[in-house]
Amino acid sequence: FEQYPVRFLWGAEEFASIPDGAVPEVAFLGRSNVGKSSILNALMASKGMARTSSKPGRTKQMNAFGVGGARLTLLDMPGYGHGSRHSWGREIMEYLRSRKQFRRAFLLIDPIHGFKEVDMMIMEAFVDMGIPYQLVLSKTDKLEEPKKKKDRLATPHINEVFMDVQGVMRDYGGHSGFGEILATSSEPVKKGINELRWAILRATGL
């Protein structure tokens, strides 16, 4: 990843207009503010790549980034929640279901906020439609080192969070959910980014 150039490939509001191709794709999904741009930037070792894409006008579209020339495509899906378009889910699920070169969806969960109803709906849709996916915890630095003393009581321990997430996977994971849950943070220090890269490489067979 790091030694290969990354470039912005395309952005598409209307999924029908997305150019076809054979390059393997993995997609990143999550509620707005989950830390998706930060994880993508960390993955691509590029400070502004994904953030540029969240300029007004680009937040509601799917953006594609090419890694290593034409070896791999990372798809930054529009964040859901907070006034996203009503048709969001249906269009995205249909894209993931029908796209031949699509390999795996990474669903980001902020462990401080936990699963919301919309996350559960996404997971159920993945399972119903047979879309392969894996859970990624974002911002796990917040679990380990709550800055303020008063937050310490309210901050769950990472092991508890893992137990909860594993429970959710048992109940909702279905046949398309990968059992392995990845713990990451993008700031103040990067953690789990290489593990996520390995998961992407395994998913795409690269």
The piece of 135-143, 160-168, 174-182, 197-205 that touches ligand GDP (CB under 6 A) is 135-143
Burial code (b: 16+ CB inside 10 Å, e: under 16) for 56-83 equals: eebeebbbbbbbeeeebbbbbbbbbeee
Q: Least distance from C-beta 158 to ligand GDP, angstroms? A: 13
Neighbours of 46 (CB within 10 A): 19
- 119 near ligand GDP (CB under 6 A): no
Contact 49, 9 (CB under 8 A): no
Say how far apart CA 50 and CA 34 lie, in whole Å: 14
Q: Least distance from C-beta 147 to ligand GDP, angstroms? A: 9
Q: Is 134 exposed, middle or buried (0-12, 13-18, 19+ CB in 10 A)?
A: buried
**Choice from 9, 38, 107, 199 touching ligand GDP (CB under 6 A):** 38
The piece of 89-97, 133-141, 171-179, 195-203 that touches ligand GDP (CB under 6 A) is 133-141
**Which ranges in 54-116 belong to alpha helices (H)?**
88-98
Say how far apart CA 203 and CA 133 lie, in whole Å: 10
- 53 near ligand GDP (CB under 6 A): no
Tokens 């119903």 identify what position? 128
Q: What mask of x and - would describe binding to ligand GDP in positions 139 to 158, judged by CB under 6 A?
A: x-xx----------------
Contact 172, 133 (CB under 8 A): no
The piece of 13-21, 65-73, 150-158, 182-190 that touches ligand GDP (CB under 6 A) is 182-190
Q: Least distance from C-beta 38 to ligand GDP, angstroms? A: 3
**Choice from 35, 66, 177, 192 touching ligand GDP (CB under 6 A):** 35
Residues at the contact surface with ligand GDP, assessed by CB under 6 A: 30, 32-38, 54, 79, 138-139, 141-142, 185-187
